[in-house]
């Protein structure tokens, strides 16, 4: 449970008519007593309190603020030494201004703190910064996440971050920045092709700057001019195939053909599809075509002659329905779920798409709403790019309503939807 703050005055949100700096400098005076403040300091540092002698390293201060904001908020007091003695700060006005700048420029999303100076009879003055964590998760400008554990702050590992985001913001996995990539890990031709689809005067490929385009144009990377931290979405969309498989193995898709009508039948062939989303889409479509016919028109049935051996026909499916089901599967899967993988099972008379998706996000009303296209996109940034024809997937997009409507008309049988055990299953039947 968060420590009770020593401030008693209400928080005020900044007015649209005033700047961030004006808001901080024009706050009403606080009513904190020196007795309360001294009692707080004497308790020493804990999960929600950090003590500093002075403000000397803006990067470390930003890390400390991020850690507090990600740990239900807290306070940093400047002008207190390691022995819990009040030394004061010589320039409290500058400290306030610098803290306001750090909260505004060095932290994403920007933190709106309460900053005040408290004076003592001795003439010493300290500066207290109080911050809430209302918009978690917070990160530093270079893409690092911190949390506070007791009196210490620590950078959150990728696995810890995944589990944490899973709890506080289920829709945030695609925005996780990755720190081990360079521009060489991206398919420049794919990026340039996507950009040129919007602008006939797109820059020459030889002059193309991958990091700038991802960071400034697509907002799929963070960092300043000398830093490059692409997000999970950037890697899935435009990463080189081998690097996607290495960095995000949970994005692999298993595609299998069975000889019967369910998964207990004999397995004919199975492959594991790796790479960026465009590569995965094309590879899966090619595999499906080996065992099924995809078309826009319903096939005509051929009558067998008397005595003629009737061969088992290949399943015939509405191409746009299968393509849209595949796109939805690749775009909306929940990669934060570690134990469930994306699978496609091809049977004699049906294709089944199985995707990791939190069951808690599909209450009975929600499971009915998705049939009408009313659903919350799990990865909105990925969806926004994949569904653009400039990305390279040439298929109409109509969502689940189109799949249900067109597939039913094509095969005469309505697709089946199953939502349970953190899995979303869609089964499309052959004509």
Total of domains in the chain:
3
Q: Is position 309 within any domain?
A: yes
Range of the domain at 403: 250-429
Statement to judge: residues 242 and 254 lie in one domain: no
Q: Is position 176 within any domain?
A: no
Statement to judge: residues 62 and 117 lie in one domain: yes
Rounded Cα distance, 320 and 421, in Å:
28
- Residue 106 is encoded by which pair of tokens? 């060095």
What is residue 249's DSSP assignment?
G
Q: Is position 28 within any domain?
A: yes
Out of 141, 156, 171, a domain closes at: 156
Statement to judge: residues 232 and 261 lie in one domain: no
Q: Is position 11 within any domain?
A: no
The CB-side HSE value for 86 (13 A sphere, CA atoms) comes to 20
Statement to judge: residues 220 and 266 lie in one domain: no
Q: Is position 69 within any domain?
A: yes
The CB-side HSE value for 357 (13 A sphere, CA atoms) comes to 27
pLDDT-above-90 percentage for the chain:
43
Rounded Cα distance, 190 and 194, in Å:
6
Statement to judge: residues 424 and 331 lie in one domain: yes
Torsion sign across C-alpha atoms 349, 351, 354, 359: negative
CA distances from 424 to 171, 334, 421 (A): 16, 10, 9
Statement to judge: residues 198 and 334 lie in one domain: no
Q: Is position 171 within any domain?
A: no
- Residue 168 is encoded by which pair of tokens? 């506080």
What is residue 361's DSSP assignment?
G
pLDDT tens digits for range 59-112: 999 999 999 998 888 889 999 998 888 999 999 999 999 999 999 999 988 888
Statement to judge: residues 136 and 263 lie in one domain: no
CATH of the domain at 305: 3.30.565.60
Statement to judge: residues 238 and 132 lie in one domain: no
Rounded Cα distance, 342 and 333, in Å:
8
**Does residue 409 sit in helix, strand or coil?**
helix
pLDDT tens digits for range 308-325: 444 445 899 999 999 999
Weakly modelled stretches of the chain, pLDDT under 70: 1-36, 158-159, 162-171, 200-208, 225, 299-313, 359-377
Q: Is position 81 within any domain?
A: yes
Statement to judge: residues 190 and 113 lie in one domain: no
- Residue 74 neighbours by CB under 8 Å, 6+ apart: 2, 3, 47, 48, 49, 50, 68, 130, 131, 148
DSSP H helices, 26-132, are 34-42, 58-69, 92-105
What per-residue confidence (pLDDT) applies to 364? Answer: 45
What per-residue confidence (pLDDT) applies to 294? Answer: 94
What per-residue confidence (pLDDT) applies to 6? Answer: 38
Torsion of CA 232, 236, 238, 242, to 10 degrees: 110
Statement to judge: residues 225 and 278 lie in one domain: no
- Write out the DSSP string of 53-78: S----HHHHHHHHHHHHTTT-EEEEE
Statement to judge: residues 91 and 237 lie in one domain: no
Rounded Cα distance, 95 and 9, in Å:
22
Statement to judge: residues 98 and 204 lie in one domain: no
- Residue 297 is encoded by which pair of tokens? 């028109």
pTM for this entry:
0.63
Q: Is position 77 within any domain?
A: yes
Give the strand pairing for 292-295 and 315-318.
parallel
């Amino acid at each position: 449970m968060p420590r009770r703050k020593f401030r008693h005055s209400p928080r005020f949100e900044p007015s649209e008519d005033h700047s961030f700096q004006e808001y901080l400098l024009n706050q009403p005076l606080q009513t904190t007593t020196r007795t309360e403040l001294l009692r707080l300091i004497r308790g020493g540092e804990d999960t929600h309190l950090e003590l500093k002698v002075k403000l000397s390293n803006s990067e470390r201060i930003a890390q400390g603020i991020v850690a507090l904001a990600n740990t239900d908020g807290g306070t940093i007091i400047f002008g207190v030494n390691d022995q819990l003695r009040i030394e004061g700060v010589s320039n409290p006005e500058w400290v306030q201004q610098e803290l306001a700048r750090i909260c505004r420029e060095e932290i994403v999303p920007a933190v709106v703190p309460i900053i005040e100076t408290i004076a003592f009879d001795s003439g010493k003055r300290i500066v207290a910064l109080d911050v809430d964590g209302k918009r978690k998760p917070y990160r530093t400008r270079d893409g690092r996440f911190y949390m506070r554990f007791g009196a210490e702050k620590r950078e959150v590992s990728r696995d810890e971050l995944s589990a944490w985001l899973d709890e506080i913001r289920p829709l945030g996995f695609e925005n996780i920045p990755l720190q081990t990539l360079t521009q060489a890990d991206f398919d420049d031709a794919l990026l340039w092709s996507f950009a040129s689809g919007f602008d006939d005067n797109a820059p020459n490929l030889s002059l193309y700057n991958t990091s700038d385009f991802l960071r400034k144009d697509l907002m799929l990377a963070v960092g300043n001019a000398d830093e490059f931290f692409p997000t999970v979405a950037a890697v899935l969309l435009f990463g080189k195939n081998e690097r996607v498989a290495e960095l995000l193995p949970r994005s692999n898709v298993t595609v299998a053909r069975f000889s019967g009508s369910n998964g207990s039948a004999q397995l004919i062939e199975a492959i594991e599809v790796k790479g960026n989303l465009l590569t995965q889409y094309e590879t899966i479509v090619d595999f499906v075509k080996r065992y099924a016919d995809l078309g826009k028109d319903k096939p005509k049935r051929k009558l067998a002659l008397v005595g003629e051996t009737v061969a088992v026909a290949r399943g015939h499916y509405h191409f746009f329905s299968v393509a849209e089901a595949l796109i939805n599967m690749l775009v909306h899967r929940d990669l934060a779920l570690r134990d469930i993988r994306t699978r496609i099972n091809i049977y004699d008379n049906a294709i089944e798409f199985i995707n990791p998706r939190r069951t808690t996000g599909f209450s009975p009303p929600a499971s009915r709403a998705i049939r009408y296209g009313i659903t919350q996109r799990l990865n909105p940034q990925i969806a926004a790019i994949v569904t653009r024809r400039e990305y390279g997937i040439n298929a109409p997009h109509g969502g689940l309503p189109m799949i249900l409507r067109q597939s039913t008309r094509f095969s005469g049988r309505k697709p089946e939807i199953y939502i349970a055990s953190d899995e979303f299953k869609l089964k499309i039947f052959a004509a």
